[in-house]
Structure 1
Amino acid sequence: MSTQERINAYWTGRAPDYDAYQQRPDRFDADQRAWARIWAEALPAAPSDVLDVGTGTGQVAMVLAGLGHRVTGIDLAEGMLAEARRHAATVADGPTIRYGDAVRPDFPPASFDAVTSRYLMWTLREPKTAVANWMRLVRPGGIVAVVDSTWFPDGLDNASENFTDHYDADVRAALPLATATSIDQTVAILEAAGLTQVTATALTSIYELDRQYGVAPNHEHQMQYLVTGRV
């Protein structure tokens, strides 16, 4: 399998459990409110055209659609796409979910007012190329907004998740942010692509929810960041 096919296979296998955690009834409403506030403050006013790259199970796409945006979510992991499509079908004016590559999204230039991603940058091949392609899709004055953290600063070999079968040496070598030790490394990627007004904001509301409800299995309690830049 290619590097991307290995990544796709990993996330397809993880999809059911990953989605179950995202839908936890004890914190679902609190999560929805917190993420709605975060995205509402980061993005242009609704309704805007938004592309959610690496949409996974569609959690971000669903929140954005709930805010009134016209949302398209793309992913390459079929298992994740199945979960996202199931959620999208439950609401009127839900997101459109499509098979698509986050590195090279297949849309005409200036198709969107914003590009978003969450928990993608660390497992994204060619992030510099990806961000440059996202900028091409965003209309002048629009926003690129990504959420991530430094999940594995000590290396994937020391991670509590089992990456062995899919994130082999070739895959790891293709992911420059997989073992980032600072969110500044993600900031630098956005700045190098030519985005302006790039800022990183600590998501203290999510940090507090994780403290209150606990973090996902095999994860540690750590700060997540919203990194935004303007086209």
Structure 2
Amino acid sequence: MTTQDRINAYWTGRAPGYDEYQQRSDRLAADQQAWSAIWAQALPPAPLNVLDVGTGTGQVAIVLAGLGHRVTGIDLADGMLDRARQHAAAMANGPAIRRGDAVCPDFPAASFDAVTSRYLMWTLREPETAVANWARLLRPGGTVAVVDSTWFPNGLDNASENFVGFYDAQVQSALPLATAKSIDHTVAVLARAGLAEVTVTPLTSIFELDRQYGVAPNHEHQMQFLVTGRV
């Protein structure tokens, strides 16, 4: 199996439980409101053509479509794509969900006004190549907006996630942001890829929701960040 095959297999297996947690009824409305505000602030007003890379279960793509954007979500994990397609089909003007590689999205240059991702950067191979490819897909003035955190600063081998057999030494060596100790490493990736006006914003609203409702299993209560840049 290639590095990406192992990552895909892990997230396909995680998809049902991951999606069920994201759809928790006690928190769903509060999450939708908070994330809608975050993405509305991160991007220019709708309607934009947006590519959501590593879309997973489609949570970001769904929120962006709800804001009035024309959204395409891509992923390589079949289990995640199945969940995302179910959610997209349940809404009017939902996102288009396609199989696609976040590192090398197969679209013509200048196809989009924005590229987004959430919880992808840490598990993204060749992040600088990926961000440079995202920039190529953007029209002048377009935005890259990513959300992530420093999930595993002490290493994946010490994580409480069940990575055994998937995120092995081969995979870990291909993921330069997996064990980042500061979000500044992600900021630097966007800057080195040639994006301008790179900014980082702590997501205090999500931090407070995590304090109120608790965090996902095997995670700690920590700050998440929005990092944006423009071409």
Written as runs of structure 1 = structure 2, the 5 A alignment for 1:98-109 is 98-109=98-109
1:221 aligns to what SS in structure 2? coil
1:44 touches 1:142 (CA, 8 Å); kept in 2? no
Residue in 2 that maps onto 1:97? 97
Question: Residue 175 of structure 2 aligns with which residue?
Answer: 175
Paired residue for 1:73?
Answer: 73
> Is residue 228 of structure 1 aligned with residue 225 of structure 2?
no
2:88 alignment partner in structure 1: 88
**Aligned residue type for 2:106:** D
Residue pair 1:143, 1:230 contacting (<8 A) in 2 also: yes
Greater than 6 Å deviation, 4+ residue runs: none
Aligned to 1:122: 122
Distance (whole Å) between structure 1 residues aligned to residue 180 and residue 164 of structure 2: 19
Which amino acid counterpart does residue 230 of structure 1 have in structure 2?
R
Amino acid at match of 1:21: Y
Q: Is the 8 A contact 1:44 1:113 kept in 2?
A: no
Q: Distance in 2 between matches of 1:142 and 1:44?
A: 9
CA–CA separation in structure 2 for the residues paired with 1:197 and 1:15: 35
| Matches of 1:54 and 1:121, distance apart in 2 | 9
* 1:44 shift after superposition: 1.6
Match of 2:25 in 1: 25
Which residue number corresponds to residue 152 of structure 1?
Answer: 152
Give the drift of 1:70.
0.0
Please, what TM-score do these two structures have when normalized by structure 2? 1.00
| Mapped partners of 1:224, 1:93: distance in 2 | 29
Structure 1 residue aligned with 2:50: 50
Could you report, residue by residue, the CA deviation over 1:15-47 in whole angstroms, capped at 9, with x for unpaired residues? 000000100000000000000000001012100
The equivalences for 1:176-215 within 5 A come to 176-215=176-215
**Where does residue 136 of structure 2 map in the other structure?**
136
* Residue 35 (str. 1) matches residue 13 (str. 2): no
- Give the whole-Å Cα distance in 2 for the aligned partners of 1:107 and 1:44: 22
Q: What's the offset of the Cα at 1:164?
A: 1.2
In structure 2, the gaps of 5 or more residues are none
Cα-Cα RMSD: 0.3
Distance 1:143 1:83 in 2: 27
Partner Cα separation in structure 1 for residue 204 and residue 160 of structure 2: 24
Cα separation, 1, equivalents of 2:39 and 2:138: 17
Q: TM-score, normalised by structure 1?
A: 1.00
Aligned with 1:172: secondary structure?
helix
Question: Residue type matched to 2:70 in 1?
Answer: R
- Deviation track 1:170-205 (CA, whole Å, cap 9, x = no partner) reads 000000000000000000000000100001100000
Q: Which moved more, 1:159-168 or 1:144-153?
A: 159-168
CA distance in 2 between counterparts of 1:39 and 1:9 reads: 29
CA distance in 2, matches of 1:156, 1:168: 9
The residue matched to 1:71 in structure 2 has which SS?
Answer: strand
Determine whether 1:3 maps to 2:3: yes
Structure 1, unaligned runs of 5 or more:
none
